[in-house]
């Protein structure tokens, strides 16, 4: 998939929650039939638990100060009563009701508000799945009656005032276990009554790390960046985007450890939002077989903005540990894909996923909604109607425009006010006939400058266009109650929501649901909101264009009843179909689909050192077959810079020094490069140009397999490659003796990939049908070679001439190396012996047909367990290899390990013979 042909699918309004749940059940049944384990549990990883935890330390006897000693009683003149003396001498036990009371709980829980759409979606999944919700406790609040363990001395010298928060470090393990036990019993009011259990699992964080993570890196670096603001634009002092990286990484690691503790095989894991972008890759390392999804609720910026982030590669690599990455809109998913291609140089698969060393992360989008049923019930609250009537009476005869936003720089409140002023200026007939009621709730971080700017603008508009009996703008900077909020949405003649950048905005959807029972009033939405692509019947505007917004306000206020009704019906259908419940079920469905794909169904295990060592020592003759680029040397931007490391040379020299070993490098490089860097290793065999040439160990001459082949096609391919080179800046052609390659590693990555697909299509559908050639798509290149020549043929040739080999180690990293792995699939199902026919790479060099006919099939000495085909890359990489290692360094490490083991074995043999 590329930027030049975007296959964006329209939103499907016919989808329903029962349909999605039925699809989820069917997918689970299909996966179980394939013996893919499913536990029926979903682990939801959120920054916060949806509860506020308050703590009060239980008083202990030793904590209570002793009262002063009671003075001795003076002897009384009056004798004691008979009853008193009887009780004093009786020694009776205390009454049975006087048993010690059960200790009062130290913790109390309350509902945490915010992220209502996400929380209600997670709660709704309890209807079908058991869930584990992993999240931070938040700051531990001190209960009003509590004296917290740490008190801060007042600077004024007044008595100590209890702090409002309890430091996490002051809590004992028993305190934490008590909260965990209480959370295990907790049930939120929105959980389905007959649903499955939601387990709440706290993540315990150091207070300094927790605030450095959230108040620091999340709010000062990532949040501004994702909303197209660079950190210096929002900070009041010198801003560094890297200051809080350490706590961000530490908190993500703590979350990953906690998830790994509660994980069971077959669990689905969903990680929510930008606070936890490193968790997917950390889980991939800890739980290689886990199905991990990541949903990003915020916008994702274009690559030109994202690349400003100093830790851009760490963030992208962290996200790409997931099997599925989901965004609010298609455009956000495209921005992410573009960042992966442009910043990290990763390749996009044919289905739009991102390939990282063979692990493919699928990219999807799925908009979040609100809990439409819950909102509809809230609009029926008895306290709403009186407030609605009061508002109608207060603004009788006037049109009411309503806005409700956080007072945040990206919410576009200033732009909205200026557009309203433009409305009164361009359409003076509205002066005295329309009011704007703007409610701004306080943001997470106060911005005095923005508050002052809004207040001054409100005062200016009211001074310019108001009068003694008319105030155009009513601004309320406060958090309003639910009844007032829904009354305000219901009474509006026009809703105006104009953020400069936003992901999901719940107010727009709540406005549509509130209007169902009243006026069916229109809605103005900023085109820079994630939700705007779904709500197409809203009047969409550019909030920076004041005239356009003013004209949209005028149009909305003068819209006919028929048009209002038509637009409202479509919006209402969208809002009530794409709910938070549907969103949550869709996420489960998409991750299950990913789990069933071929890429995840087969995980290649890591190569077992013990087995490798055992077969290596037992074998009398061993074959080592290595690719070069990506296997013995890492992939680099400039091909000539891919020189072998000191460790690689040491390993190759040590292996070739053992007479039992036959070692070959089978590369796509030309012979000149291989001789320059590896030619000094005496007993090393080499094959160049993907099997076009071979130089046997100990020899200095190359054999050419293409001499007897028709190579006239090369001139035609060269002309086609020249055409694309002229049109792709940064690309170049590499002409070898047996193949020709077009490289675009230095070109613009997206344009280069697009041109590669175009060129590949032209070659495959025209030239390849008429000529004996094949077209190979490599890493940032396109290669054309003869059909008869490939790495697999070379492997067969080496095996044919060394049939007594009892051990084979073959390593490669890309598509051309799959030919080697295919050639080593020697044993049919259940077979223990292998027979090899004379391969083409043997008969081509025979000289004549009579000479070729002399070659007979050979019996191989190798056993199935002694063939170690090894792919370099991730365990989920689609490959014919039986094993995997992650990096080229690990290939070299395994080679050196075998050399050391053989040396130690030899020394032990000598010492025992001397004895």
Q: E strand or H helix at 749, and its extent?
A: helix 749-762
Cβ neighbourhood burial of 814 (10 Å; 0-12, 13-18, 19+): buried
Helix or strand run (H / E) with residue 377: helix 372-378
Residue 529 and residue 867: Cα distance in Å, rounded? 56
CB 799 within 8 Å of CB 860: yes
- Say if CB 161 and CB 150 are below 8 A apart: no
Asked whether 808 and 820 are in contact (CB, 8 A), the reply is: no
From CA 447, how far away is CA 263, in angstroms rounded? 42
- φ, ψ of residue 378 to 5 degrees: the values are -65, -30
How far apart CA 24 and CA 44 sit, in angstroms, is 17
User: What's phi and psi for 789, nearest 5 deg?
Assistant: -115, 120
What is the Cα–Cα distance from 88 to 135, expressed in whole angstroms?
Answer: 58
Q: Is the separation of the CB atoms in 296 and 274 below 8 Å?
A: yes
- CA-to-CA distance for 168 and 374, rounded, in angstroms? 35
Distance CA 893, CA 896 (A): 5
Nearest-angstrom CA–CA distance, 625 and 627: 7
Is 740 within 8 Å of 715 (Cβ atoms)?
A: no
Residues 6 or more apart whose CB falls under 8 angstroms from that of 382 comprise none
Contact (Cβ atoms closer than 8 angstroms) between residue 370 and residue 577? no
Residues 6+ apart with CB under 8 A from 809: 612, 616, 622, 623, 624, 625, 868, 870
CA–CA separation, 714 and 772 (whole Å):
11
- Any idea which residue has 């000693």 for tokens? 69
Q: Give the C-alpha distances (Å, rounded to integers) separating 417 from 320, 422, 446, 453.
A: 41, 9, 20, 11
Q: Provide the 3-class DSSP secondary structure of residue 131.
A: strand
User: Locate tokens 């660079």: which residue?
Assistant: 230
Phi/psi for 356 (5° steps) reads -120, 100
- Any bridge partners for residue 131, and if so which? 42, 198
**Greatest CA span in the chain, whole angstroms?**
140
* Cβ(216)–Cβ(210) below 8 Å: no
Spatial neighbors of 832 by CB under 8 A, at least 6 apart, are 863, 864
DSSP type of residue 698:
T
Taking the C-alpha atoms of residue 612 and residue 607, their distance in angstroms, rounded to an integer, is 8
| CA 779 and chain centroid, separation | 24
Task: Tell me whether strands 494-497 and 354-356 are parallel, antiparallel or unpaired.
Answer: unpaired
- Residues written for the chain: 915
Based on the residue annotation, tell me whether 627 is a catalytic residue of this protein: yes
- List the catalytic residue out of 267, 405, 627, 813: 627
**Enzyme catalytic residues:** 627
């Amino acid at each position: 998939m590329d930027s030049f042909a975007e296959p964006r699918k329209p939103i499907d309004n016919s989808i329903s929650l029962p349909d999605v749940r039925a699809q989820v059940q069917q997918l689970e049944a299909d996966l179980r039939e394939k013996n893919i384990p499913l536990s029926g549990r979903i682990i939801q990883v959120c920054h916060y638990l949806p509860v506020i935890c308050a703590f009060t330390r239980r008083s202990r006897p030793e904590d209570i100060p002793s009262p002063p000693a009671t003075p001795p009683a003076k002897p009384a003149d009056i004798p004691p009563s008979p009853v008193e003396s009887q009780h004093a001498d009786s020694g009776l036990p205390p009454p049975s009701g006087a048993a010690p009371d059960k200790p009062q709980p130290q913790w109390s829980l309350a509902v945490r508000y915010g992220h209502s759409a996400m929380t209600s979606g997670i709660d709704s999944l309890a209807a079908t799945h058991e869930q584990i919700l992993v999240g931070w406790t938040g700051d531990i609040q001190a209960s009003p009656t509590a004296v917290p363990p740490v008190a801060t001395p007042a600077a004024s010298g007044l008595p100590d005032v209890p702090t409002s928060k309890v430091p996490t470090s002051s809590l004992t393990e028993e305190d934490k276990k008590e909260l965990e036990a209480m959370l295990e019993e907790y049930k939120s009011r929105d959980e389905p009554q007959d649903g499955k259990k939601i387990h709440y699992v706290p993540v315990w964080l150091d207070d300094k790390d927790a605030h450095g993570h959230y108040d620091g890196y999340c709010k000062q670096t990532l949040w501004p960046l994702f909303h197209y603001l660079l950190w210096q634009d929002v900070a009041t002092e010198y801003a560094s985007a890297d200051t809080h990286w350490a706590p961000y990484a530490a908190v993500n690691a703590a979350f990953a450890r906690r998830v790994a503790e509660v994980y069971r095989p077959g669990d689905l894991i969903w990680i929510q939002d930008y606070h936890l972008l490193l968790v997917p890759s950390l889980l991939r390392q800890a739980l290689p077989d886990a199905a991990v999804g990541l949903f990003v609720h915020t916008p994702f910026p274009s690559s030109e903005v994202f690349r400003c982030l100093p830790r851009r590669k760490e963030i992208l690599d962290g996200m790409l540990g997931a099997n599925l990455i989901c965004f609010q809109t298609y455009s956000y998913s495209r921005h992410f894909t573009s960042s992966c291609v442009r910043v990290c140089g990763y390749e996009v698969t044919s289905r739009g996923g991102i390939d990282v060393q063979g692990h493919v992360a699928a990219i999807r989008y799925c908009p979040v909604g609100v809990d439409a049923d819950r909102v509809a019930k809230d609009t029926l609250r008895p306290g709403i109607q009186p407030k609605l009537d009061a508002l109608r009476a207060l603004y009788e005869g006037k049109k009411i425009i309503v806005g409700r936003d956080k007072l945040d720089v990206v919410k576009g409140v200033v732009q909205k006010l200026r557009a309203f002023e433009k409305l009164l200026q361009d359409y003076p007939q509205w002066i005295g006939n329309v009011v704007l009621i703007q409610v701004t709730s306080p943001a997470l971080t106060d911005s005095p400058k923005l508050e002052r700017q809004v207040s001054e603008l409100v005062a200016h508009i009211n001074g310019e266009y108001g009068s003694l009996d008319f105030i155009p703008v009513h601004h309320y900077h406060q958090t309003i109650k639910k009844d007032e909020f829904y009354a305000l949405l219901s009474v509006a003649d026009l809703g105006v929501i104009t953020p400069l950048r936003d992901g999901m905005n719940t107010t727009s959807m709540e406005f549509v649901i509130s209007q169902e029972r009243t006026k069916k009033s229109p809605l103005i939405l900023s085109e820079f909101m994630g939700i705007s692509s779904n709500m197409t019947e809203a009047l969409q505007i550019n909030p920076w264009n004041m005239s356009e917004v003013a004209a949209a306000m005028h149009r909305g206020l003068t819209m006919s009843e028929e048009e209002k009704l038509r637009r409202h019906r479509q919006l209402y259908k969208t809002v009530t179909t794409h709910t938070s419940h549907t969103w949550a079920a869709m996420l489960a469905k998409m991750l299950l689909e990913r789990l069933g794909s071929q890429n995840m169904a087969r995980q290649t295990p890591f190569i077992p050192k013990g087995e490798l060592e055992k077969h290596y020592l037992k074998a009398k003759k061993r074959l080592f077959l290595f690719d070069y680029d990506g296997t013995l040397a890492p992939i680099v931007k400039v091909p000539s810079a891919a020189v072998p490391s000191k460790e690689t040379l040491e390993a190759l020299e040590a292996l070739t020094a053992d007479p039992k070993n036959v070692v070959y490098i089978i590369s796509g490089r030309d012979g000149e490069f291989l001789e320059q860097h590896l030619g000094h290793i005496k007993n090393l065999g080499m094959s160049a140009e993907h099997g076009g040439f071979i130089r046997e160990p100990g020899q200095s001459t190359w054999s050419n397999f293409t001499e007897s082949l028709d190579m006239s096609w090369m001139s035609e391919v060269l002309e086609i490659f020249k055409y694309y080179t002229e049109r792709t800046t940064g690309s170049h052609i590499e002409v070898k003796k047996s193949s020709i390659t077009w490289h675009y590693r230095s070109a613009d990555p997206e344009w280069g990939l697009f041109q590669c697909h175009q060129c590949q299509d032209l070659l495959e559908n025209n030239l390849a049908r008429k000529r004996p050639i094949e077209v190979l798509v490599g890493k940032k290149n396109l290669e054309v070679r003869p059909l008869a020549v490939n790495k697999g043929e070379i492997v067969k040739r080496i095996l044919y001439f060394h049939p007594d080999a009892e051990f084979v180690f073959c390593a490669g990293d890309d598509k051309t190396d799959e030919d080697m792995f295919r050639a080593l699939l020697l044993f049919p199902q259940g077979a223990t012996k292998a027979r090899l026919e004379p391969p083409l790479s043997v008969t081509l060099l025979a000289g004549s047909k009579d000479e070729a006919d002399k070659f007979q099939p050979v019996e191989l000495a190798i056993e199935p367990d002694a063939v170690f085909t090894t792919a370099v890359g991730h365990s989920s990489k689609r490959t014919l290899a039986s094993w995997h290692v992650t990096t080229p360094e690990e290939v070299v490490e395994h080679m050196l390990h075998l050399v050391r083991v053989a040396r130690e074995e030899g020394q032990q043999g000598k010492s025992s013979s001397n004895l």
